[in-house]
């Protein structure tokens, strides 16, 4: 799942500058010890899908015409080149990871994605062998396409499998079936992808506990290194949102969702997957370094329609509509549609909320070094209330979510955010 999904992004134009924020002196979540100072992650948004799924509220959809993806790739390349030429805040920053999200990046021909990845290497010095992820729909790839993507330098592929129940897949609008998902994962492994991830959605309508258990058990046995389990969120403007308003969306009760989530964690743990983030499970050495950057405060530069960036304490986002994005960039104008600088207290609160998503939680020393404030003092009353409710465990080194707090994370976030 693309970009910083931990705190839901505001719609373009809904944010405003609310005060100055000195950039933290370092990432606040104590990332890998060998991460270079000033490292930046690169994100590329591909907004095209063959079909919009019933749960999706991202900047994505079918292209308006057969030539639109080619025009979009041209605009992407121009934005990347101009960023290096015109944004001094990017100067000297070593690129650490690249992530192509969507939408469905693999709805575009592999040669187009390869060209953009090559340009990122040329412009930002992204090293050969650095983590470069491409999201994929099993319906949009075959063995040849996966071979081409791996040859182009993509090291990691993330499949949106969601379920292995064919009836559920049809109801949520997926174009693949379970057999196609199995085949796509096998092809990726056979064509050299050492890092393969699978996304599943917890709480979909029509999924029984037995079906869910069978899905997780099978995926855990595929020999992959990473599984993401996202709890379904019904958003306004989606097909599910409309069905819910009409009283036609029948979701499993919350208690059952929690039980199914706990069972997934137990199955994955038995298969060697550790839960290192709220929705993320990995075998040793298979964590997603790009997503960890979002949760620890690493700078990131996003390219494409609706893409977000965070550099030197400023958050900004591009225009959402792909055709408007293309026209803006090709005409020589900046695609940035809005910017904001959070006041220091709000920035620290967002950092704390993001940090709690990780297994390491809020690391007291690292947080204090980045923000100049002790998180246990700054958020003391809120953390005390959360601890009393059994949602957070607080100790001398910081704070982490409890097992119950992981499933009630939205309550934790609401208690900490202004």
Domain CATH number, residue 190? 3.20.20.70
Of the pLDDT bands very low, low, confident and very high (cuts 50, 70, 90), residue 16 is very low
Residue 307, domain member (yes or no)? no
Domain containing 368: what range?
361-416
Sign for the pseudo-dihedral over CA of 139, 210, 227, 219: negative
Domain count, the chain: 2
Residue 352, domain member (yes or no)? no
Over the stretch 171-210, which tens digit does the pLDDT of each residue have? 877 788 999 999 999 999 999 999 999 999 998 888 899 9
322, two tokens: 């792909």
Helix (H, G, I), strand (E, B) or coil at 259: helix
Domain boundary among 251, 281, 296: 296
Q: What is the pLDDT of residue 51?
A: 67
Q: What is the pLDDT of residue 213?
A: 96
What span, in angstroms and rounded, lies between the C-alpha atoms of 405 and 209? 22
DSSP type of residue 51:
S
Residue 214, domain member (yes or no)? yes
| CB crowding 20-43: b at 16 or more within 10 Å, else e | ebebbebbbbbbeeebeebbbbbb
* 21 to 39, 62, 416: CA distances (angstroms): 19, 39, 19
Judge whether residue 2 has pLDDT over 60. Answer: no
User: How many CA atoms lie less than 13 Å away from 216 in the CB half-sphere?
Assistant: 26
Residue 19, domain member (yes or no)? no
Same domain membership, residue 263 and residue 173: yes
What span, in angstroms and rounded, lies between the C-alpha atoms of 154 and 69? 20
Same domain membership, residue 376 and residue 244: no
Q: What are phi and psi of 233, to 5 degrees?
A: -120, 125
What span, in angstroms and rounded, lies between the C-alpha atoms of 243 and 55? 11
Percent of the chain beyond pLDDT 70? 87
Over the stretch 363-407, which tens digit does the pLDDT of each residue have? 999 999 888 999 999 999 999 999 999 999 999 999 999 988 987
Domain boundary among 252, 279, 296: 296
CA dihedral 233, 280, 32, 386 (to 10 degrees): 60
Of the pLDDT bands very low, low, confident and very high (cuts 50, 70, 90), residue 57 is low
What span, in angstroms and rounded, lies between the C-alpha atoms of 313 and 166? 45
CA angle 322, 110, 44 (to 5 degrees): 40
Judge whether residue 95 has pLDDT over 80. Answer: yes
Higher model confidence: residue 270 or residue 27?
Answer: 270
* 336 to 8, 99, 309, 314: CA distances (angstroms): 19, 20, 10, 12
Q: What is the pLDDT of residue 239?
A: 65
Enter the pTM of the model.
Answer: 0.89
Residue 15, domain member (yes or no)? no
Q: What is the pLDDT of residue 114?
A: 97
Over the stretch 123-152, which tens digit does the pLDDT of each residue have? 999 998 999 999 999 999 999 999 999 999
DSSP type of residue 48:
B
Residue 309, domain member (yes or no)? no
- The count of residues in the chain is 418
Of the pLDDT bands very low, low, confident and very high (cuts 50, 70, 90), residue 102 is confident
User: How many angstroms separate the first and last alpha carbons of the chain?
Assistant: 26
Residue 101, domain member (yes or no)? yes
Give residue for tokens 């258990």. 213
Which candidate, 170, 387, 402, places its Cα nearest to that of 275? 402
Q: Please give the average per-residue pLDDT across 54-61, as a whole number.
A: 60
Q: What is the CA radius of gyration of the chain?
A: 21
Same domain membership, residue 175 and residue 254: yes
Higher model confidence: residue 76 or residue 418?
Answer: 76
Residue 311, domain member (yes or no)? no
Judge whether residue 238 has pLDDT over 90. Answer: no
Contacts for 312 with CB less than 8 Å, ≥ 6 apart: 23, 89, 299
Same domain membership, residue 240 and residue 114: yes
Percent of the chain beyond pLDDT 90? 67
Domain boundary among 296, 316, 346: 296
Same domain membership, residue 371 and residue 265: no
Same domain membership, residue 192 and residue 61: yes
Same domain membership, residue 245 and residue 392: no
Average pLDDT, the chain: 87
């Amino acid at each position: 799942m693309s970009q910083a999904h931990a705190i839901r992004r505001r719609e373009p134009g809904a944010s405003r500058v609310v005060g100055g924020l000195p950039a933290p002196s370092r990432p606040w979540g104590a990332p890998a010890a060998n991460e270079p100072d000033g490292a930046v992650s690169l994100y590329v948004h591909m907004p095209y899908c063959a079909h919009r799924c019933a749960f999706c509220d991202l900047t994505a959809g079918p292209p308006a015409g057969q030539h639109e993806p080619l025009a979009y790739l041209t605009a992407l390349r121009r934005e990347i080149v101009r960023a290096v030429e015109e944004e001094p805040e990017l100067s000297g920053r070593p690129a650490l990871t690249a992530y192509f999200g969507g939408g469905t990046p693999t709805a575009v021909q592999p040669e187009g994605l390869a060209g953009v990845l090559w340009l990122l290497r040329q412009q930002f010095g992204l090293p050969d062998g650095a983590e470069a992820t491409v999201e994929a729909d099993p319906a949009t790839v075959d063995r040849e396409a996966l071979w081409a993507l791996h040859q182009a330098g993509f090291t990691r592929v993330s499949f949106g499998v969601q379920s292995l129940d064919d009836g559920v897949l049809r109801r949520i609008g997926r174009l693949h079936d379970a057999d196609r998902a199995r085949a796509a994962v096998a092809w990726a492994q056979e064509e050299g992808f050492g890092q393969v991830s699978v996304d599943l959605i917890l709480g979909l309508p029509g999924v029984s506990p037995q079906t869910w258990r069978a899905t997780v058990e099978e995926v855990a046995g595929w020999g992959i290194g990473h599984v993401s389990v996202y709890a379904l969120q019904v958003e306004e403007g989606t097909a599910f949102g409309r069905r819910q308003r009409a009283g036609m969306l029948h979701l499993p009760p919350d208690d059952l969702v929690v039980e199914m989530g706990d069972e997934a964690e137990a199955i994955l743990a038995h298969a060697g997957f550790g839960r290192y983030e709220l929705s993320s499970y990995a075998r040793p050495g298979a964590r997603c370094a790009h997503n960890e950057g979002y949760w620890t405060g690493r700078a990131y530069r996003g390219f494409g329609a609706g893409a977000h960036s965070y550099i030197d304490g400023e958050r900004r986002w591009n225009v959402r509509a792909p055709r408007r994005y293309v026209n803006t960039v090709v005409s020589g104008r900046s695609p940035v549609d809005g910017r904001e600088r959070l006041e220091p207290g709000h920035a620290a609160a967002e950092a704390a909320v993001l940090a709690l998503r990780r297994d390491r939680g809020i690391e007291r020393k690292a947080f204090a070094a980045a923000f100049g404030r002790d998180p246990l003092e700054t958020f003391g009353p809120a953390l005390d209330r959360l601890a009393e409710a059994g949602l957070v465990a607080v100790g001398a080194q910081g704070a982490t979510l409890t097992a119950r707090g992981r499933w009630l994370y939205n309550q934790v976030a609401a208690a900490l955010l202004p």
